[in-house]
Amino acid sequence: MANNIQAIRGMHDVLPEQTPLWQFAETIIREVLGAYGYSEIRLPIVEKTELFKRSIGEVTDIVEKEMYTFDDRNGDSLTLRPEGTAGCLRACLEHGLLHNQVHRLWYYGPMYRHERPQKGRYRQFFQLGVETYGMAGPDIDAELILIMERLWKKLGIRDKVRLQLNSLGTIAERMVYRDSLVSYFQGHLEQLDEDSLRRLETNPLRILDTKNPAMREVVANAPELMNYLGDDSLEHFNAITTILNDLGISYELNSRLVRGLDYYSKTVFEWVTDELGSQGTVCAGGRYDGLIEQLGGKPNHAVGFAMGIERLLALVETLDAVPLKSSVDVYMIRVGEIAEQQGLRFAEAIRNDIPGLKLQVNCGGGSFKSQFKKADKSGAEFALILGDDEVSRGEVSIKPLRNAEQPQQQLSQQQAIEFLQINVQGRPNG
């Protein structure tokens, strides 16, 4: 037997039975971002490798170990985007969008990281990314948090996530902190694991992010970055917490929150959950003013976040009832030659008269019984039944499929259209 070709490990199909959940979340995402006046930007999936090295940082897990990098036919080194912040900023710089302008943008699509796949961690995963430019904050930092908060509420998962907040200060402040952190850990070398010993040389702040329980104590006693922040960074951070307090948005201060990408300064945040096991960060981001100059722009301001859609949906799936709509409202059964012929015409008339109605016509024949089974399986609310006799009288039967108390009715075709206009729930203009 021939070997069937399978999908790449860590890259998943979204099957038709799963797409309603995706569409449900995507609709809410669009609505919420629209409510804050954000515009969509669409970006390439492949970028020059150099872009990610320069922005995410040479000594990060993503750049060192996780990128899908290849030489194209011209010999240029290209990479499948592991995240969207770098590409979004590259596009805005390239098209001159940052010159004396303010932007509020979002993008949505697949990202690629060669991580070890497990529940909630994939090699292809989807992100909603939101990036803003030209605003020094702290009001825009807070606006982003409000957007996320509204999204959780609309999706019904507000009580499943917690906001963690920290400030990484400026690069200069972080350098001073880095030195004290290195001397502290050098005094406790025997308590560091192999990974942390390596990070001590390359990226010591990342040691704070360790998941190793054996290192909990040594990390807990390490110096705190907050004590190294200058007046401006502290003022910015305090202003954000004041806005959040004012709006009644709860948060936890987490001085160990350092993020796995190098471009951040000042505000960083993560929304975490206890319901998804070890991959509990659903959404994360922060301010990255410095990256603009690093990529060749003039000094400016940037802050944003990205949300992992698979993790978001896994959280939505923990709800008792997910409010999903079937992709079919009405299923048309056609039994007999005349019914088959007339049915398609009648279906077109219904679609003309009821925009937004999802009408599926049985194709490929079959007995009444087998068509009826398909109608039931389609998830439709009503079956329209056309037999030769009915059609020759200009009539049709309507059978409710989800409500046993509603009777089946024989109506004229015009009455049937009126019935569907009134009775199909959730039609966009119904």
- Which residue ranges make up the site for ligand HAM (CB under 6 A)? 83-85, 113, 115, 121-122, 125, 127, 129, 131, 260-261, 281-286, 288, 304-306, 308, 310-311
Please choose, from the candidates 259, 261, 219, 256, the residue with its C-alpha nearest in 3D space to the C-alpha of residue 59.
Answer: 261
Give buried/exposed letters for 133-161 (b at 16+ CB in 10 A, else e): bbbebbebbbbbbebbbbbbebbbbeebb
Quote the least distance from Cβ 87 to ligand HAM, whole Å.
10
As given in the structure block, the two tokens for residue 222 are 């390490």
Q: Where are the alpha helices (DSSP H) in 281-387?
A: 289-294, 309-317, 337-353, 368-377
Q: How far is the CB of 270 from ligand HAM (least distance, A)?
A: 7
281/413 with CB nearer ligand HAM? 281
Instruction: Between 129 and 343, name the residue whose CB sits nearer to ligand HAM.
Output: 129
CB of 67 to ligand HAM, least distance (A): 12
> Residue 298 CB, nearest distance to ligand HAM (Å)?
20
- Tell me the closest approach of the beta carbon of residue 190 to ligand HAM, in angstroms: 31
Which CB sits closer to ligand HAM, 62 or 386? 62
Among 130, 141, 104, 163, which residue's Cα sits nearest to residue 237?
A: 141
Closest approach of Cβ 351 to ligand HAM, in Å?
A: 39
Please say which residue, 281 or 300, places its beta carbon nearer to ligand HAM: 281
**Cα–Cα distance between 134 and 63 in angstroms, integer?**
27
SS (H, E, C) 159-188: HHCEEEEEECCCHHHHHHHHHHHHHHHHCC
Q: Which residue has the tokens 């449900």?
A: 24
Closer residue to ligand HAM (CB): 265 or 342: 265
Nearer to ligand HAM, 122 or 228 (CB): 122
Of 258 and 283, which has the nearer Cβ to ligand HAM?
283
Q: How far is the CB of 138 from ligand HAM (least distance, A)?
A: 16
* Pair type for strands 359-361 and 382-387: unpaired
Residue 340: which residues within 8 A CB-CB, separation 6 or more? 334, 365
Closest contact distance (angstroms) between CB of 215 and ligand HAM is 21
3-class SS at 139? Answer: helix
Q: What are phi and psi of 308, to 5 degrees?
A: -85, 120
Residue among 145 and 192 whose Cβ is closer to ligand HAM:
145
d(CA 107, CA 129) in angstroms, rounded, equals 5
Question: Tokens at residue 75, please?
Answer: 């010999």
